[in-house]
Amino acid sequence: MELISTPSLVTAVASIVVYACVYRWILQRNIRGPKAWPVIGHALEVVAHRRLIYDGLTDYCRNYFPTFQFRIPGRTFVVTVDPVNVEYIYKTNFNNYWKGETEGTPSFDVLGYGFFNTHGDDWRKHRKVASHEFTSRKLRNYSTQNFKAFGLRLCDILQEAVNNNEPVSIRDLACRTSFESICKIGFGNDIGLLNRNLPKAPFVEDFDAASKLSVRRFIDPFWKITRFLSIGPEARLKKHIKNLRTFTRELVQTRIAEIAAHKQDKPDLLSRYAEAMKKESFTSNPMKDLQDTVLNYLFAARDTTAAAFAWTIYAISREPRVEQKIVEELMRLEAEGRRETKTHEGEDDENDGADYPDGEFGDFVRLLDHNTVTTKLNYLQATLFESMRLYPPAPINYRVPIKDDVLPTCGTKVKAGDHVIIASYAQARMPQLWGDDCLELKPERWLTDGVFKQESPFKFTIFHGGPRLCMGKESATLLLLITLAMIYRFFTFELAPGEKVEYIFGITLDIKENGLKMVPRKRS
């Protein structure tokens, strides 16, 4: 067999290089976005930005504001930060833009037919069941009482760390608080993650691992092959999913047994779903449907709430001015509470019926009813939302169009099956939307005459908008406000020596490695 001559080889290589350059710089001159290479598209750019991928998206959004396109082998993305486009996707043309998760897509193995992955009639069934509970006064009161109890446990943990002069992992405490909350409010179970000894929970480790391994699939074109062969990361994911299924099956069976024994005193979501599925299940397997529902709520509530909690504490630690204003607001609330207590001394106690301990923690937590937290802690709420703007718990979200379409602002064409990315992290860093000070933590941008005012859900997109507006928004906000009020009334935080804070690529904006080690100090 005659070998290819050197001149022929040089000619072939030169032809490929010339074609690549022509393709990149001439044939794509009308494409809005970074120029792609033949075959591999923008894979090199994705690899180059893999450590800080959301900052890479931000740079492109600034260069190609408000919408651009990029692709990797087998997938085309349209990225937008424009509120008009977002409203069009989330609301105006809602029926054309689906979540896109079905069997064979990255998150299906973990989340199944839960509300994350369903569309149309199945999604509406989920929405109907959940909306009944999220709007009920009984659930709100039940949530408030339990959030206050979790705040007390957290203060005890922080006090012990102060006494021992030890740093704490804010990420770990945030995950424990949010996991405990959703298990109690959603499923009626107190799993003890906020006990003083901070017990390890295998199912939490399975949950973390399954989340990270599922996200890896989005950038691994060969994940279906390794899943079929059950090797490498896919073999580990299979094991973690099995463990999670065991955990959720036991949880569901326990709650169903309680319902059968007429112990229905807990206004939790799982009870509502179990009753609804007696009439009509989502698939032919009601038990699997309930397990999927549990896992969907765990993913929706635990990771996003924990991320918001941790990043807010980090953001406040970098801005002493902001922390001081928060403390002043909390001190005013406490002073007003003392005056009202003295004025109404001898009258019937109108608290929420819970038995809170005496002492500084218990005395303060009694003040934190739903109305007080949402109407009198304006600066704290503004700080929370400003932190979530800069560090959105879900840094990107996406929809998949069913039919070809054109985005209204810029005329960008999207094809059926493309992934349309709403880049919340980048959106927060657009001077065109938030001003030249968009990179600063500035709670004042959320205040009008000292009163907290929300932004458009299409400009501040972390709770989505339109028909799929997050139903747990008020519950998550209440948990975060109560918890932050408790800990900032009594503690302050500083980064542990040598601590470096970075995010990692994931469904949520999680914190890398050691989990935000901080040193708590008792406030004088």
Q: Which residues participate in the annotated binding site?
A: 470
Strand (E) or helix (H) holding 162: helix 137-164
Write down the residue that tokens 């989505």 correspond to. 464
Q: How many CB atoms lie within 10 A of CB 347?
A: 8
Cite the annotated binding site for heme by residue number: 470
C-alpha 178/C-alpha 188 separation (Å) is 14
Q: Are the C-beta atoms of 309 and 174 separated by less than 8 Å?
A: yes
Distance between CA atoms of residues 189 and 7, nearest Å: 74
- Contact (CB, 8 A) for 193 and 179: yes
Query: What number of other Cβ atoms are within 10 A of residue 120's Cβ?
Result: 9
Phi, psi dihedral angles at 339 (to 5 degrees): -65, -40
Kindly report each contact of residues 355-359 with a partner whose C-beta sits within 8 Å and lies 24 or more positions away, as own/partner.
356/148, 356/152, 357/152
What secondary structure, in 3-state letters, does 71-120 show? EECCEEEEEECCHHHHHHHHHHCHHHEECCCCCCCCCHHHHCCCCCCCCH
List the one residue out of 362, 316, 321, 354 whose CA is nearest residue 486.
362
| 451: exposed, middle or buried (Cβ count in 10 Å: 0-12, 13-18, 19+) | exposed
